[in-house]
Structure 1
């Protein structure tokens, strides 16, 4: 059935491409014809998987660019089809009818819940894990269940795990992978580190003995320098540790060299650390890394900036409390007058449980410089209620559509921040582009 599976997948993918469409439907067809098709592929190249709650798309794309910069022919699911069907589509589209996948390197972003389907069925050279946070409870379930689904496929894995050494939820994977080579990455203590936190944290207890972990400092959420007072579980020695971190100038050092982070925020530097860990593992030069960072594209909706009449409109995606809190910190640092639009949806891809907004520090927005906040989306009223309960004293409005919300804030002379959940991101972006064109 391998031949038919590959033929059907390649044909349907080609037809969709001619129609200007993509998606995972070809992979669904391929798996229907041969559920074991991934095991039957002939791959003679490094296969790097990237997973985690936040940052996996940016990290995977930069790792793919890293190998390209080093001269490899790379296959990657850059468009973000990170479920099993999407990954099958990517690989079979690049396979010949005998199942041979010709590539110098394969870099795949993988949804956390799909690692159990991908890792055992491909010759994976390295698994990169950024972080684990509570996210989309209705789909991903409690984080403990998600992590266990990955732990269950690790006992037989004998290649490399590249793990965030500042996240106890990630470090615990090493306990279930006795045959793997472990590489840890992370960040040194810096100006943003704190000794206590009120952020939603999931890494509170030792996975080995169950006692509460102690922290020397936090970077954000439960990410930081941790140790268990009752056993030996602690932050490991970091093979790749970014130092001299300057958040204002987006710079850090490693092995005595200075690098520039292409994006904003402390969490982005963890993505850079993961890329550098891969570069070290595959002996790719720092020059290649710097070129990747220098030319990294700004992902749409990730701190994306638009300009109109001398003011900025900045669009950001939020999908869980940890990622949202990092966005709040960036906005909080802006001392200029501003208006804010928050689009909260509860569709399947967003997560139908929106209780996470009460674990997000929207209070960071509630400053005298925030003139107006307009909420919209399928749960716009819930968002407005959250802000009301949070004590926001400025102008607070709820509008039926994104366009109406933008119309409202475009009347103000201030900079504008637009915060949107997953299914609201592209509609919000399209509305911004249209509004900028109309008002420009």
Structure 2
């Protein structure tokens, strides 16, 4: 019996209780307290996962992918520990275990599912040895925190090299991710989208990286999905997109859901997810791949993904007097560009709200807004009735829209978030789309819950496997 572990768990649970009592969010506080008392808390709790640890890292989609994996694993009949709220620093990961630990420091779970921030990934894998690591994508994100993109990629790459044995689950369409098998020597499974799944207009975005990660020469692309994701090859060293074991094609937008055909080693299946956003198909394919690798049946994988409900700000759907409103977290150029693509794919007229903060959790440097393709919004502004800008940097957001070519008579700055959101919901558009950086997200969701009704996802009939 480890007395220090028991004491750490007790006091951490007490901190969590106090946090809830006083209305603090504090999802990482129990982990902070536990690690102060006993540094080995995370390692001791994590090794109790009977079937192992599955980690998800990368820039965009970590929370969605991790939660999708949880749905799949639980549908397969297994118990999980998960940092579901997206607290993905080492303290947040520790808190996830504290939450489910008994007062004697015991964990009853089959799998631990951990979303891990890229910068924290090296620290976490020092204490927790994962059996599977999913890497989604790499994009520029919070330059004042992560530095340039090469720095982020190197952090993850070097941390993976320290692991004696791990199975990688990699996005084959991202060359920065796909390189991880070759440079680490670990076993890997690949997932991706069949080439040419998007229109030419949808793929006209800023490319985060266009050079071979091995030899530095410019990559040749036959087609793009978005940003640097696509069908690539290097004519100098031979590095190219690997044929994925799990691949999606025949993608259909069904309004509030997406459907596609998925090819996997033993056949094909129809896959439906009850959320919007082309990028969410990558998250679903990662979850499908993990489920398949750990032995979940394809029927259970389908059912688990069909039951997925978006986390806060991950394309959450609300209804206001019959009008649809979507809340979308944005934190870097690629994520914002994909949000814009989703917005423009929605039929009918829209009202748009954008809240930009520059607190520590958002990143102090907001120059990344100038790398977002707001010009696409300007080109399609006939379908957008109003643009309302809020947040600590609402004025800068409005200025960026003006320089992108959005008519100034459509742009309003309103620092009162409640009034701004209500104005957006009540505007002349047939639907509303709300963009928010991280620290504005929870207040925005709270306001929406007070003003509108949140969609409850209803599971439809299970698609067939063929």
For normalisation by structure 1, the TM-score amounts to 0.92
| Aligned counterpart for 2:36 among listed residues 21, 32, 36 | 32
State the distance in 2 between where 1:176 and 1:357 align: 33
**What is the CA-CA distance between 1:96 and the residue it aligns to?**
5.9
Q: How far does the alpha carbon of each residue in 1:246-292 deviate from its partner, in whole angstroms, 9 at most, with x for none?
A: 24472222222111122212211101110111122111111111111
**What is the CA-CA distance between 1:36 and the residue it aligns to?**
4.0
**What is the CA-CA distance between 1:147 and the residue it aligns to?**
1.3
Of stretches 3-12 and 164-173 in structure 1, the one that deviates more from structure 2 is 3-12
SS of 1:397's partner is: strand
State the distance in 1 between where 2:228 and 2:149 align: 13
SS of 1:381's partner is: helix
> Could you tell me which residue of structure 1 aligns to residue 420 of structure 2?
405
Unpaired runs of 5+ in structure 1? none
> Could you tell me which residue of structure 1 aligns to residue 448 of structure 2?
432
State the distance in 2 between where 1:350 and 1:91 align: 26
Q: 1:356 to 1:123 in 2, by over 3 A?
A: same
State the distance in 1 between where 2:347 and 2:252 align: 19
SS of 2:301's partner is: helix
> Could you tell me which residue of structure 2 aligns to residue 293 of structure 1?
305
**What is the CA-CA distance between 1:92 and the residue it aligns to?**
4.2
Aligned pairs (5 A) from 1:330-349: 330-349=342-361
Q: Is the 8 A contact 1:2 1:37 kept in 2?
A: no
SS of 2:389's partner is: strand
> Could you tell me which residue of structure 2 aligns to residue 283 of structure 1?
295
> Could you tell me which residue of structure 1 aligns to residue 190 of structure 2?
184
Q: Is the 8 A contact 1:6 1:30 kept in 2?
A: no
**What is the CA-CA distance between 1:70 and the residue it aligns to?**
1.1
Matched, 1:265 2:277: yes
**What is the CA-CA distance between 1:5 and the residue it aligns to?**
4.0
Matched, 1:422 2:428: no
> Could you tell me which residue of structure 2 aligns to residue 376 of structure 1?
390
State the distance in 2 between where 1:83 and 1:194 align: 37
**What is the CA-CA distance between 1:411 and the residue it aligns to?**
5.1
Q: 1:373 to 1:94 in 2, by over 3 A?
A: closer
State the distance in 1 between where 2:216 and 2:318 align: 48
Matched, 1:166 2:182: no
State the distance in 2 between where 1:32 and 1:136 align: 28
Q: How far does the alpha carbon of each residue in 1:193-212 deviate from its partner, in whole angstroms, 9 at most, with x for none?
A: 54995422222111111101
> Could you tell me which residue of structure 2 aligns to residue 135 of structure 1?
141
SS of 2:306's partner is: helix
> Could you tell me which residue of structure 2 aligns to residue 385 of structure 1?
399
Q: 1:214 to 1:190 in 2, by over 3 A?
A: closer
State the distance in 2 between where 1:92 and 1:387 align: 44
Q: 1:309 to 1:37 in 2, by over 3 A?
A: closer
Q: 1:19 to 1:400 in 2, by over 3 A?
A: closer
State the distance in 2 between where 1:432 and 1:380 align: 19
Q: Is the 8 A contact 2:172 2:241 kept in 1?
A: yes
State the distance in 2 between where 1:149 and 1:137 align: 14
State the distance in 1 between where 2:444 and 2:354 align: 10
For normalisation by structure 2, the TM-score amounts to 0.87
Q: Is the 8 A contact 2:210 2:228 kept in 1?
A: yes
SS of 1:368's partner is: helix
SS of 2:17's partner is: helix
Q: Is the 8 A contact 2:12 2:98 kept in 1?
A: no
Of stretches 75-84 and 15-24 in structure 1, the one that deviates more from structure 2 is 15-24
Q: 1:345 to 1:212 in 2, by over 3 A?
A: same
> Could you tell me which residue of structure 2 aligns to residue 153 of structure 1?
159
State the distance in 2 between where 1:429 and 1:63 align: 24
Matched, 1:396 2:400: no
> Could you tell me which residue of structure 2 aligns to residue 361 of structure 1?
373
Q: 1:341 to 1:38 in 2, by over 3 A?
A: closer
Q: 1:189 to 1:26 in 2, by over 3 A?
A: same
Q: 1:409 to 1:276 in 2, by over 3 A?
A: closer
Q: Is the 8 A contact 2:16 2:29 kept in 1?
A: no
Q: 1:410 to 1:90 in 2, by over 3 A?
A: closer
> Could you tell me which residue of structure 1 aligns to residue 462 of structure 2?
none
State the distance in 2 between where 1:236 and 1:206 align: 14
State the distance in 2 between where 1:136 and 1:205 align: 21
State the distance in 1 between where 2:391 and 2:73 align: 40
